[in-house]
Amino acid sequence: MPVKKSPPKKQFPLHDLIVPGLGLLRLQKIGSGLFFLVSTIVFLAVFLWRHELVFISLHSLFTGLSLLAVSQENFGQVFTFEILEFWVAALYVILVPLFLVFFSNRTLKKALATKRDHIDAELSLREIGWQSFKKHTIALQASVIVFILYSTAFLAPLVSPFNPFEQQDFLVTAYKPPLTTIDALVLEERKGVTIPLREGNSLEEKLTNTLIGDFQVLKTRNEPQKLRFVDSYRFEGENIIYQQGPREKSIPIEALAGGKEYSGGKPDFIVTRSFFLGTDQYGRDILSRVIYGSRISLSIGFLVVLISVTLGTIVGVSSGYFGGIVDNTLMRIVDILIAFPALFLILIIIATFGNSIFLIVITLSFTGWMGVARIVRSQVLSLKEQEFILAAKSLGLSNLRIIFRHLVPNTLTPVIVAATLRIGSIILTEAGLSFLGLGVQPPTPSWGNIINEGRDSLLNHWWISTFPGIAILTTVVCFNLIGDGVRDALDPRMRG
């Protein structure tokens, strides 16, 4: 009688075990594992590079919360936009690496459990869509680029090399091409506290003064000392003669930082600053302005799509589900708004009420929800006659539960596709408005108004408009590629 041999035990490949914590169980997963690894390393590098600013930002956050606990009257003084951006950057640089490590370890444990038990786990619809999306290499690469862009926007106060608003010695720094290096004299005089400290020894005054001190350090993060950019310089006795454009000036060495202890050799009071993307007509760093401009353009695109998709979904579901007079009224409103020129309506609203960032977001949101409403309505009209909706009605479920529990989840596929494709068009619209001077107003940088500032000198100083234009092009193309990938991943007919 032949002896039945047991099948050999399946061995784990070597590449499944050499990179723990990255979720790499097959060679085809190395790309995603390297993404987690590289992303975590980059965030840790930014944290180590700017750890002092991160700690000061967190300290100011706890101080601000303590101040609010003591007195609610200080809400407007504590939660200013300038201090909020540092709090968001500090939390982002800490929480995102933790999320990446958690997600990669969770992926690893799930894959190890599946492989150890030799079980083909039944995937949910979301996991099937994600597996299908990962097959689209171009869309996945575009997602990585968008992640980098949004991370740069969140970390703008930490990664920007200069203050994007500061105009300093523009006779020397104006219209400098990319990769320019400029020498600067470090003055002994430091930037003082511009916000007056409060008098008193109460807990509220102490917390307020602490918050003011932290904010002043954060505000002068890039240049804690006052710099004076020069074209050239030379030593003459106890003085330094420096050139700024057509002007020649003199300054005592003792007036420079560490000048009193200077005894020859390479001085510490002369530093070199690099402008990687050049400067504009006011001597402002283009790289810093493009980084800060990404916050405006990307946030406007995200917020507008979030509001318009939410509004369009509500209108579409209500119209399709209830029908009758509700459907006729809502759809006639949609037809009128679609027939009305959107750009003309936006120009009328901005010309009438002004052009603040808040108004731009609201205007773009309420002129872009009609297409989503019609898509959702068509989905609901086909879904509400299905058996599971009729069964829910026969069980006596309320209309709200049927809508939010059964209809809305089943209409999200076209909504997600429409949202990803619309973000790019919103960014283009905002850039066009800013280019025309009707969007975000200077000196607040956005990609559109940076291009507008350089349009008059495009031939001679091409870099002013070129780099924000490249940023817009990259962002819009990436979002369109992501939209195509999401559409193919969520469409069962396109799955391989």
How do the domains of the chain map onto residue ranges?
A: 14-122, 170-200+221-275, 286-494
**Cβ–Cβ < 8 Å for 287, 275:** yes
Say if CB 319 and CB 377 are below 8 A apart: yes
Task: Note the pLDDT tens digit of each residue in 12-70.
Answer: 443 443 344 333 344 345 556 677 778 888 888 999 998 999 999 999 889 888 888 87
Percent of residues, the chain, with pLDDT higher than 90:
16
Read off the pLDDT of residues 134-143 as tens digits, 9 standing for 90 and up: 788 888 889 8
Collapsing DSSP states into helix, strand and coil, what is residue 458? coil
- Of 81-90, 147-156, 262-271, 415-424, the range with the lowest mean pLDDT is 262-271
**Alpha-carbon gap, residue 254 to 440, rounded angstroms:** 44
Widest pairwise Cα distance in the chain? 107
Residues 6+ apart with CB under 8 A from 258: 186, 267, 268, 269
Percent helix, strand and coil across the chain, each to the nearest 5: 65, 10, 25
- Give the pLDDT of residue 108: 63
What average pLDDT does the segment 424-434 reach?
85
- In the predicted model, is pLDDT for residue 363 greater than 70? yes
* Calpha distance 36→34 (Å, rounded): 5
Q: Which residue has the higher pLDDT, 474 or 395?
A: 474
Alpha-carbon torsion 107, 110, 112, 118, what sign? negative
pLDDT of residue 350: 79
CATH 1.10.3720.10 fits 286-494, yes or no: yes
Other Cβ atoms within 10 Å of 94 Cβ, number: 13
Q: Comparing C-alpha atoms, which of 448, 414, 406 is closest to residue 431? A: 448
- Residue 194's alpha-carbon distances to 127, 190, 212, 219, 220, in angstroms, are 53, 12, 9, 10, 11
**447: Cβ contacts below 8 Å, ≥ 6 apart:** 290, 293, 294, 296, 297, 427, 431, 434, 468, 469, 471, 472
Determine the distance from the C-alpha atom of residue 490 to the mean position of all C-alpha atoms in its chain, rounded to a whole number: 26
**Which two three-digit tokens encode residue 263?**
């005894």
Listed ranges 1-10, 76-85, 332-341; the one with the highest mean pLDDT = 332-341
pLDDT computed for residue 91 by the predictor:
93
- Could you tell me the two tokens for 358? 């808040």
DSSP code string of 271-295: EEEEETT-B-TT--BHHHHHHHHHH
Sign of the C-alpha dihedral computed for residues 224, 229, 232 and 236 taken in this order: negative
Quote the percentage of the chain above a pLDDT of 70.
84
Give the pLDDT of residue 23. Answer: 39
Position 193, amino acid: V
pLDDT confidence of residue 11: 45
Backbone angles phi, psi at 366, to 5 degrees: -85, 5
Q: Mean per-residue pLDDT for 379-395?
A: 83
Instruction: Please give the Cα distance from 462 to 458 (Å, whole number).
Output: 5
For position 151, what pLDDT does the model report? Answer: 92
168-218 pLDDT tens trace: 788 899 999 999 999 998 887 665 546 677 777 778 888 888 888 888 888
256: confidence class by pLDDT, cuts 50, 70, 90: confident
Which of the four pLDDT bands, split at 50, 70 and 90, describes residue 113? low
Q: How many Å apart are CA 437 and CA 426, to the nearest integer?
A: 17
Which pLDDT value is given to residue 78? 66
pLDDT at res. 221:
78
Q: What is the pLDDT of residue 496?
A: 52
Asked whether the predicted pLDDT for residue 107 surpasses 70, the reply is: no
**Among 190-194, 325-329, 475-479, where is mean pLDDT lowest?**
190-194
Task: Grade residue 291 by pLDDT with cuts at 50, 70 and 90.
Answer: very high
Closest CA to 36 of 128, 103, 127: 103
pLDDT at 195: 67
Burial class, 478, CB count within 10 angstroms (exposed 0-12 / middle 13-18 / buried 19+): buried
Lowest mean pLDDT among 49-53, 107-111, 376-380: 107-111
Across the chain, what does the average pLDDT equal?
80
Question: Which pLDDT belongs to residue 117?
Answer: 52
